[in-house]
Structure 1
Amino acid sequence: MNQLEGLRANSSQFTLEGEPFRILGGSVHYFRVPRAYWEDRLLKMKACGLNTLTTYVPWNLHEPERGRFNFQDQLDLKAYVSLAAELGLWVILRPGPYICAEWDLGGLPSWLLQDENMQLRTTYPGFVNAVNLYFDKLVSVIKPLMFEERGPIIAVQVENEYGSNAKDENYMEFIKNCLQSRGINELLLTSDNWEGLRCGGVEGVLKTVNLQRLSYGAIQYLADMQPQKPLMVMEYWSGWFDVWGEHHHVFHAEDMLDVISEILDRGVSINLYMFHGGSSFGFMNGATDFGTYKPQVTSYDYDAPLSEAGDFTSKYQLLRSLFSQYHSQPLPVMPSVRERTAYQPVVIQQHLSLWDSLQFTDKPYSSERPVNMEKLPVNNNNGQSYGYTLYETTITSGGTLNSRNNIRDRALVFVDKQCVGSLDYKTHELALPDGKGQRRLSFLVENCGRVNYGKALDEQRKGIVGDLLLNHVPLRGFTIFCVDMKPSFIKRLGSGQWKPGCVCPSLPGFFQARLDVAGSPSDTFIRLPGWGKGVVFVNGQNLGRHWFIGPQLYLYLPGPWLRSGENQIVIFEEQQADSKIQFADNPDHGRTIDVYKLPFCTIL
């Protein structure tokens, strides 16, 4: 068999199989798209004129517990990459181990933080050992998919945006060696914003740049750094992500097209980040922290060319017209649009208080001092990764409660099951009412999402991370419940003593409704006007968080997660419940702001 010549960067233009090749790429994350829709999204990518799929690989999903790997079903990376090949797409793989991606802890598993001395993204021995074991498994999955094995993967990225971190001069060489020593021989790339280009590279690896506007000379800067090498924008930001309590970011199609046209006119290869964003289902959203902690919303619509539900947008139509100029043959016909249904509202039939649900959690843990989530002896001693943790102790007086900013990230505070307020990064003090005798003081602490980018990555332990003071005295004697709301827990709730109706005497609580679907299910959007803050589960699937402060005012419910006939909807609600659940056939993104009008520093 003749040796195939893969993607090469030996001159000012890429070559593939010895011929000039322009990368026209788009990012679609398999872990953000229901598996039943992988083919739909990739066919739409192909019909837009793109020739290359890029995807991250989320370590935290593939190794949820140390040494226990999952590459099945929704996480079947091999099937996803193979599907791309069947559809005629090349693949650039971005395996991390850190991926950023507006994903909890940038894709790093939370059990790494059990080590109090952990230094993420360095050659610290504890991190190196974990990465080596993960790459042993990951490379065994992806190596048969490489171009040299007649697979579609033509390039592999070394880590991600390390120039913005760059605290260990040996780290990038270590990650490069992780790939090459395990037999990855395809072209290796790095990816950084223009400020990170200077210190994010590694010897023998092609640099690429991430950007949204050209006014800062990033492409010329990259060209000067790598003369006689092909130029590529690895992440052309087609929109932007959203955080709770702010506006929905939009990037107008005409502004985007002007920049992409100029990039292509310069002969530069491009990858659209995102081509299709999808959803950060479950508790997987990340957060930003540039002095202020801001958790991201569930939707990863990103104002991308394909919407969260896979709709064609005006951006898609303009890009299809543009990219068609770079093909000698007509583009494939655009796939048909999938039907959506605004189902009739459904009524809440029964409820179960949080306190009555605790019998279905793992055995509570007793500790004199508070213990952060990651240190709890649950999940085969891998700690708790996501969701809520309930801390309870007893008090004999009221007074001033001070968190000392040790709540991560937000706590509802209860005295004898009655909510008396909340604590978070902004609110550190709370007045507790006086009362007679011993009373139960409870803290329901939510991990709202670990920071995925920036200097705060090592400080992402969640729950209660230090002492809380009542009248200047540290609280002691805690009972701690892991309320991580895994599918097994939601299933166990079914055997609880649910009470009829929608009026729960004490929030928080779980509220259940039934959606009857006649015929084949369709995509829809759940709307919750009259509700406060919480999480929505449909047939055991965690759709993500809802919060009345917006901007996101809906949750995407994919048709494949519904079934013909009866469907169970369970809402965990913290603050305010309504009597019904509503549906819509189109999303409501809330208030908008043009990302192109924001200061450049806010989107780095």
Structure 2
Amino acid sequence: MCLYFTILLLISSFNLFASEDLPTNYEYFTSGGISSGLSADQPTFTLNGKEIFIYSGGLHYFRVPRAYWRDRMRKIRAAGLNAVATYIAWNLHEPENGVFDFGNGGSEMEDFLDLEEFMKTAQEEDLFVILRSGPFICAEYNFGGFPTWLLRENHIEFRTTDETYMKYVTRYFNTLLPILEKYQFTKGGPVIAFQIENEYGNQESRNFRPQKEYLEQLHQIFSNNGIVELLVTADSPLSHGDAGALPGVFLQTANLGASPEQQFEKLLQLQPNKPLMVMEFWSGWFDFWGDKHTTKKASSVKDVYERILKYPASANIYMFIGGTNFGFSNGATYGTADVGIESITTSYDYDAPLNEAGDYTDKYFDIKELVAKYNPVKTSTPEVPELIPKVAYPTIPIEKEITFSDLIKNNAPHVIESENVIAMEKLDINSNSGQASGYIVYRKENVDLAPKTVLKIGGKVCDSAEVLIDGVRVSPNFETNADFDNFGFWRKQDATLQVNTEEKKGATLDILVENWGRVNGGRVTGYNQTFKGLWQGDVYLNDKKVSDWKIIPLEFKKDWTNNLKSWSEVSSSTGPALYYANLEISDEPSDTYIDMRQWTRGLVAVNGFPLGRYTKIGPQQALYLPAPFLKKGSNSIVVFEEYKGADELKFVTKQIWSNP
């Protein structure tokens, strides 16, 4: 432990004993009863009639295991912050059309979704709550938090007053908001503010003007559901003015990473005599597969944060802990024309004050120091909690495999017959809600291949494709960033591939397509083009269209993964294939990381739960495996390797970053 870290821990402990007689956050602001909530009717916020500056930290309940919510919140409060902010992800709470899950709905993410427990835990940990409720959230999350079944509508205009879109938004909020309504501060709960939409002003372009009518409709839905706490929006006022706001109805807040003074000056022009708040002060940034790991100097973060507090203004640190994009939940962005999409990594570490596993960084103690310096309200805070220990479990061997052929022959969860290739969202599965994530296989059986047959995929692949003939991959390997320019990736238009040299009769052609993550932000026009799979054109063999396909979705749902059949002895480490290993734990489980540097590209599932993706090109090289996902005794680890695997799995105690 560095000396700086040790000294600050000692200071923290001394401050605890020195402040034992101070009131808690809730005691201070609710003494004498609750008569009013958070008010922005004057230059400084008041809560229940008492002046308050909001010092908040971002924590997304869907990126941190439920068992660790309390630990992360206690660390936020121990830093002196008085609030926690979270987005609410519509796509998790309504995973199928009309089917809702708020912690007991039986979805794959059920254990993350108990919003009531999240809010109760925050209040127990002496934190107020800011709910960034959407419906669009961005968050670098898959499809910006929108459910993918919305794409099944033939006509829908996202983030507008479009009747089809608003029909679903209204139904969702009429289900969500009654749950949240009773946790409002004025009803004795922790919620002091709701954010409506997110960075809506950023939609402004030559082709689209953000609709004030849309924001008013959202406002009416909230009002109809008994929401009385402060409503806010978040944008860059310098870039977009009040294009994404509803002046006089919502308080406008700013998102920024630098230059707070200029943003505040603009906010004061737009909203004279109103409190100033940064809804997103970026403590770091996220990563894309194939790019360098992004970091932000602690000294820079400290400087800007102090300028915010000194101004004075309130702020939510985005992120205070980033967490993990478990499974296939990562988002993606549209890059330049020659790059195409850029896919966000499984780790959402964000170079935040608390790292992905909840460990302290220098930024944490800088923030703790500054809040203590500038917060005019002195309340008691807990000791800085001890770190959760990490263990590097012994290396375990790969014990068995399922070849790609056996995977499709014996484990296909669905086989859909279709004349043409279609997008995964259009499959009539999951109560006619389509396929949201994972892989999709397009199979054509009994194909006669002339010598040197050329396959062509019309349009672009969404997002990568491997071609197999009789279960053997014939498309190129994936090793470096340069391979994104080759056949099989989204950058190629009407890509072609020679699939054989000699004549072959009665062959089986498989095209395995992976969804690397849907766009999570950008202009409105992009949302309708985020289908995944093969859908932009037909598939041809020697310029003859191939029809009558069998389509097999591979969603890697927990029950399916735990009941896979046709395991056999390992014959090869060449994928695509499934590989099984067993982690035996004799004591209570501990946090760990799986070191994936010997593997190429794929997915890891632990005890059936899809932990996340890995990719050789980095920058992330290990997968965080929290103790709550493990159990005493035997733990199954299944790896779906697309290209070239290894004969073992290694464990380490911290994340590994490698820059390409």
Q: How does 1:539-554 map to 2 (within 5 A)?
A: 539-554=607-622
Whether 1:79 aligns to 2:117 is yes
- Where does the alignment leave 5 or more consecutive residues of structure 1 unmatched? 593-604
Which amino acid is 1:39 matched to? R
- Counterpart CA distance in 2 for 1:442 and 1:497 is 19
- Structure 1 partner of 2:490: 425
Q: How does 1:199-348 map to 2 (within 5 A)?
A: 199-203=243-247, 204-214=249-259, 217-291=262-336, 292-325=340-373, 326=375, 327-329=377-379, 331-348=381-398
Pick from 111, 114, 130: which aligns with 2:149? 111
Tell me if the contact between 2:607 and 2:636 (Cα under 8 Å) persists in the aligned partners.
yes
- Counterpart CA distance in 1 for 2:571 and 2:165 is 48
- Structure 2 partner of 1:503: 572
Offset from partner CA, 1:356-405 (integer Å, 9 cap, x none): 12232333011111111011011111110000000012543343333233
Which amino acid is 2:357 matched to? A
1:569–1:584 CA distance, 2 compared to 1 (3 A): same
Shift of 1:197: 3.5
- Structure 1 partner of 2:423: 372
Which amino acid is 2:120 matched to? S
Which amino acid is 1:461 matched to? F
What's the TM-score, normalizing by structure 2?
0.87
Offset from partner CA, 1:507-560 (integer Å, 9 cap, x none): 211100111112111100000222111100111111100110100000000011
Which amino acid is 1:68 matched to? V
Pick from 630, 636, 644: which aligns with 1:562? 630
- Structure 2 partner of 1:490: 561
Per mean C-alpha deviation after superposition, the further-off stretch among 166-175 and 265-274 is 166-175
Q: What SS class does the counterpart of residue 136 from structure 1 fall into?
A: helix
- Counterpart CA distance in 2 for 1:272 and 1:205 is 21
Tell me if the contact between 1:467 and 1:474 (Cα under 8 Å) persists in the aligned partners.
yes
Tell me if the contact between 1:349 and 1:502 (Cα under 8 Å) persists in the aligned partners.
no
Shift of 1:565: 1.5
Pick from 577, 590, 596: which aligns with 1:522? 590
Shift of 1:252: 0.6
Pick from 50, 53, 57: which aligns with 1:22? 53
Shift of 1:431: 2.2
Per mean C-alpha deviation after superposition, the further-off stretch among 351-360 and 392-401 is 392-401
- Counterpart CA distance in 1 for 2:261 and 2:488 is 41
Shift of 1:77: 0.3
Tell me if the contact between 1:253 and 1:315 (Cα under 8 Å) persists in the aligned partners.
yes
Q: How does 1:581-592 map to 2 (within 5 A)?
A: 581-591=649-659
Which amino acid is 2:279 matched to? M
Which amino acid is 1:296 matched to? I
Which amino acid is 1:488 matched to? D
- Structure 1 partner of 2:483: none
- Counterpart CA distance in 2 for 1:450 and 1:245 is 17
- Counterpart CA distance in 2 for 1:486 and 1:129 is 29
Q: What SS class does the counterpart of residue 489 from structure 1 fall into?
A: helix
- Counterpart CA distance in 2 for 1:2 and 1:576 is 64
- Where does the alignment leave 5 or more consecutive residues of structure 2 unmatched? 1-31, 104-110, 476-486
Pick from 159, 162, 165: which aligns with 1:121? 159
- Counterpart CA distance in 2 for 1:119 and 1:140 is 26
Tell me if the contact between 2:260 and 2:308 (Cα under 8 Å) persists in the aligned partners.
no
- Counterpart CA distance in 1 for 2:538 and 2:178 is 45
Q: How does 1:126-141 map to 2 (within 5 A)?
A: 126-141=164-179
- Structure 2 partner of 1:462: 532
Q: What SS class does the counterpart of residue 445 from structure 1 fall into?
A: strand
Tell me if the contact between 1:389 and 1:480 (Cα under 8 Å) persists in the aligned partners.
yes
- Structure 2 partner of 1:599: none
Q: What SS class does the counterpart of residue 281 from structure 1 fall into?
A: coil
Offset from partner CA, 1:463-500 (integer Å, 9 cap, x none): 1113223333332111100111111210220xx12112
Pick from 399, 402, 406: which aligns with 2:456? 402
Pick from 416, 420, 438: which aligns with 1:387? 438
- Counterpart CA distance in 1 for 2:289 and 2:242 is 33
Regions of 4+ moved over 4 Å: none
Root mean square deviation, CA, Å: 1.7
What's the TM-score, normalizing by structure 1?
0.95
> Paired residues, what number?
589
- Structure 2 partner of 1:43: 74
